């Protein structure tokens, strides 16, 4: 496979995963903003997912419509869902002969949906949940089409490598920023707060089934980092990343393969053999940052060894 093609597939996939994460998170935070006794602040969200500085974030952090507009359809915000989808589509467009026609059409329709002026108008006055649902479904259509139509070859491996690398980083980010918002105070027992954090990564129901004794910050950390059955956990993401990377093993390029395989394997072990206690002992922030840096390094190594073409 052409290096440029692998690169584009990888980024198409990372952007789609990112868009999905942002949309879900927006939907739940919107619900949370309607449920909050005190005035709800969008600051943590703006901090994870935008490049706004402190002042810029403060300006809109209490204006739900402004935040939604900024994060979904704003053309100036380079991390708006619209711009992320545009980039995913540009990548897909340059590799149309490597993804199925169905997948291309699905992404192309997503792009036309979100660029429709009506979307922007509706976001200002209609029910935001309905609009976010339309977009989330478009994304699900993409993931489903991928699963049903794409051949399980090298391209599929690069797509999944991008997807799970992005997901690992995103879960670490969400957890870190949420706790930093609470100054890493683990005695915090505000039920609503944890409920919405879990909801935003689709982990609420699993939490209820796993932990019967109510909400405890430690359990939230455990599920989000260490639960291998939870598809948004860091352990699960890194595990998948490893499985898909191993599919790239071939006679050629052995040296690069071994190097990156070692890197991912080390992260995987590091997470697997952590416990909530060991994480706390290190400090959650340090631990999560360590994981993120390791994942970024994998991204760089892929870039150097598999995607270099210019």
Whichever of 269 and 303 has its CB closer to another protein, that residue is 303
The nearest distance, CB 309 to another protein, in angstroms, is: 5
Residue 90's contacts (CB-CB under 8 Å, 6 or more residues apart) are: none
Please state, in angstroms and rounded to a whole number, the distance separating the CA atoms of residues 18 and 185.
Answer: 28
Q: Does 253 bind another protein (CB under 8 A)?
A: yes
Gap between the Cα atoms of 104 and 83, Å rounded: 17
CB of 87 vs another protein, minimal distance in Å: 12
The nearest distance, CB 298 to another protein, in angstroms, is 15
Q: Does 64 bind another protein (CB under 8 A)?
A: no
Q: Which residues, 91 to 150, sit near another protein by CB under 8 A?
A: 93-94, 96-97, 101, 104-105, 108-109, 112
6 sits near another protein (criterion: CB under 8 A): yes
User: Among all chains, which residue has been given the structure tokens 């690992």?
Assistant: 168
Q: Helix 64-72 and helix 128-149: axis angle, to 10°?
A: 30
Stretch that binds another protein, among 14-22, 88-96, 235-243, 270-278 (CB under 8 A): 88-96
User: Does residue 114 come out as left (phi exceeding 0), alpha (psi in the -120 to 50 range) or beta?
Assistant: alpha
Contact 48, 172 (CB under 8 A): no
Residue 217 exposure: Cα atoms within 13 Å on the Cβ side: 19
CB of 254 to another protein, least distance (A): 10
CB atoms within 10 A of CB 85: 26
Site string for another protein, 26-55 (x = CB under 8 A): ------------------------------
Q: How far apart are CA 7 and CA 13, in angstroms?
A: 10
Q: How far is the CB of 310 from another protein (least distance, A)?
A: 6
Pick 156 or 230: Cβ nearer another protein? 156
156 binds another protein (CB under 8 A): no
């Amino acid at each position: 496979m052409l290096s440029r093609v692998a690169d584009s597939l990888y980024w198409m996939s990372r952007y789609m995963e990112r868009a999905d994460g942002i949309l879900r998170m927006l939907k739940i935070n919107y619900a949370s903003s309607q449920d909050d006794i005190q005035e709800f602040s969008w600051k943590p969200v703006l901090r994870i997912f935008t490049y706004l500085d402190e002042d810029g974030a403060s300006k809109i952090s209490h204006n739900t419509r402004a935040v939604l507009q900024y994060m979904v359809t704003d053309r100036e915000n380079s991390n708006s869902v619209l711009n992320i989808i545009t980039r995913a589509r540009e990548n897909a467009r340059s590799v149309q002969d490597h993804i199925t026609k169905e997948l291309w059409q699905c992404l192309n329709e997503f792009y036309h949906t979100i660029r429709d002026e009506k979307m922007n108008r509706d976001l200002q006055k209609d029910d935001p949940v309905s609009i976010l649902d339309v977009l989330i479904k478009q994304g699900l259509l993409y993931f489903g089409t991928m699963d049903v139509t794409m051949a399980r070859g090298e391209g599929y491996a690069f797509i999944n490598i991008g997807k799970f690398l992005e997901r690992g980083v995103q879960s670490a980010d969400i957890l870190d920023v949420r706790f930093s918002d609470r100054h890493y105070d683990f005695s915090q027992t505000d039920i609503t707060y944890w409920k919405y954090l879990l909801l935003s990564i689709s982990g609420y129901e699993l939490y209820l089934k796993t932990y019967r004794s109510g909400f405890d910050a430690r359990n939230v950390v455990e599920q989000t980092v260490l639960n291998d059955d939870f598809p948004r956990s860091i352990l699960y993401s890194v595990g998948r990343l490893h499985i898909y990377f191993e599919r790239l093993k071939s006679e050629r390029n052995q040296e690069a393969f071994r190097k990156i395989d070692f890197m991912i394997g080390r992260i995987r072990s590091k997470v697997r053999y952590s416990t909530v206690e060991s994480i706390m002992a290190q400090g959650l922030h340090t631990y999560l940052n360590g994981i993120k840096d390791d994942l970024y390094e994998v991204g760089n190594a892929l870039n150097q060894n598999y995607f270099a073409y210019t």
